Structure 1
Amino acid sequence: MSLSFAHVTLAQRVLFGAGRAAEHLAAEVDRLGAQRVMVIASESEMEMARAVAARIEVAHWHDEVVMHVPVEVAERARAAAAAAAADLLVSVGGGSTTGLAKAVALTAGLPIVAVPTTYAGSEATNVWGLTEATRKTTGVDDRVLPVTVIYDPSLTLTLPVGISVASGLNALAHCVDSLWAPRADPINAALAVEGVRALTSGLPRIVAAASDLRGREETAYGAYLSAVAFASAGSGIHHKICHVLGGTFNLPHAETHAVVLPYVLAFNAPYAPDAEARLAAALDAPTAVAGLERLRAELRAPRALVDLGFTEDGIATAVEVALPSIPVNNPRRVTASRLTALLHAALTGVDPAELSA
């Protein structure tokens, strides 16, 4: 069978090395010729950010970081960047921090150097997201793609195991969605499968010993691969659902992805046999769903949306908002009734295999 596809690889510099974040950041600021650096980090991570930025001059420190990037928070960050005459943004933190830097770059056109401290993957994509009046809007714009990502796995050593697991499963969701997203192709699939392999090797090591640097390195590597695949393939059904759950109901981002993933996988897998076989092999299991469930049990992952604050009376709204955005080329046709069933299952954490029928 001949191959025919179009693939886009995003241009980005990646620097990887434990304990080298400060060194790498100083080198990048010098390479880019930046004179007015604005560092974005949440209040809880500001001490870490100051250590990372210890070798550079900082014009402005910005610590107002809010999950799902509310528009009003983005506007204040944009105003701060303008007031500081910033010529470079440095984000030190997880997906919310990177997302805020992207919101500034979207309107100001400033370059970003991202220093991730979780496995969110936003640092490797050109996707932005803003929330206004309980509706999360996402888009694609190359202005928000960080010019450089600095991965220092030692910065994740203080990330609690539970958050590490949820964040890592969010990365795994990028891999899974990339196999049937609108622009899925063989290169994305290769990246995604290697990402699954790295994540399923690294995450159990973190659970066994939170200080296992090798496990942190493997997980960061897998998260990067997952994000690169996702950026090229586009957003599939899983992410469309989770964006609604996060933006409309303010559910925690990583944990929501961790809960919803097995239900999306079970929903689509029988209708995407090639993707299912790749995932099953990467998970070293007879089926992809069985492999994911075994991994989730080993990781003691979050299992039900009800535990995150979602309730049954929100399902109808979630279906109404999410349904129009789900790609038409999803392997299995998505109807209101099927999406309702999926969310009901995820709400209480029933056996995902029930959705395969």
Structure 2
Amino acid sequence: MRTQVGIIGAGPAGLLLSHLLHLRGIASVVLEKRSRDYVERRVRAGVLEQGTVDTLVEAGVGARLLREGLPHHGIELRYGGAGHRIAFEKLVPGRSITVYGQQEVVKDLIAARLEAGGDVRFEVEDVALHGLEAEPYLTFGGERLDCDVIAGCDGFHGVSRPAVPDGVLRFFERDYPFAWLGVLAEVAPSSEELIYSQTERGFALHSMRSPTVSRFYLQVPPDATTGEWPDERIWDELRARLETVPGFTLTTGRIIEKGVTPMRGFVTEPMQYGRLYLAGDAAHIVPPTGAKGLNLAVADVRVLTEALDRFFSTGSADLLDGYSEACLKRVWRAQHFSWWMTTLLHTFDSDDDYGRRLQRSHLDYVTSSEAAATTLAENYVGLPW
């Protein structure tokens, strides 16, 4: 077999790349080790930046997103017994976020690729990368796929990044001393917008997936397990961390999913080697506080699509050669914003009274200064492409 671009991973990055390449007349094959059902059910991020929404709509895969997504024009920072709204419509006019689950994006992209006759293969075993320096090809399940370029979109634990020889890539990492317990519940949201709540008990986030399904997160110890958090304890702690302002009551309901997510930052430099180009979680991880993971993957794919279009249409590799440098500017901005949001809102065991007073001072500044609030807003909705 032969194709122009071999893509490893059928998450948002790999599927969107395949679709955007298809629109440019560039052939690709997507290889995914998981089943289609697993990929479509895997719950991940749900906050889409303005640029991500625009990309999906322009690519012709945004009809359901526009119909079912929940546009938000602000978020609330809740601390010290009061709520403070960061108003996007005032601070960054014309830009907002949309709440729409990552698994829904994946469903839309799979449907579009299959409708267009795209080659997306699920439950593919033993994928391996070869010839990355000059003549790349992939082997899997006893078959061989020759290609001009390989795109590694297979996540942090995938096979793409480890295929690069030792000593070529540099890794920058930061682990945070806590994790997030994520909960999906069959209950109408208690707020029309996301609530980021900072308390002495720890951080909590109230989000949503639809008018009838809510998403919650609790700051927990890094070694926490879901078995330690029965439903009753989760609701008690969410109430303690969210019902901190007068008149707010948390609506509870049946919990249908829970999981613990470690908090870490990770960046690979460069994001390419030979004819291999890494995108999304294969190249970088951000703590979820700033809602940047999926959006960074889309940004990578946009850059890579333009570079591959130039390469296949003109033979010029100049944009491909500059792929990593172009992506990393945005990656490090998102890393900083995610770190900033995390340190602004979480409780650190190592903090003394001095550290806690600094955190409160910073929160007061962000919620009272239009300049500081604008910085938060423009990063949250996504910087222009």
Question: Fold match, TM over 0.5?
Answer: no
TM-score bracket for this pair, using the shorter chain length: under 0.3
TM-score, with length taken from structure 2: 0.23
**Which structure has more strand as a fraction of its residues?**
2
Larger radius of gyration: 2
**Which structure has more helix as a fraction of its residues?**
1
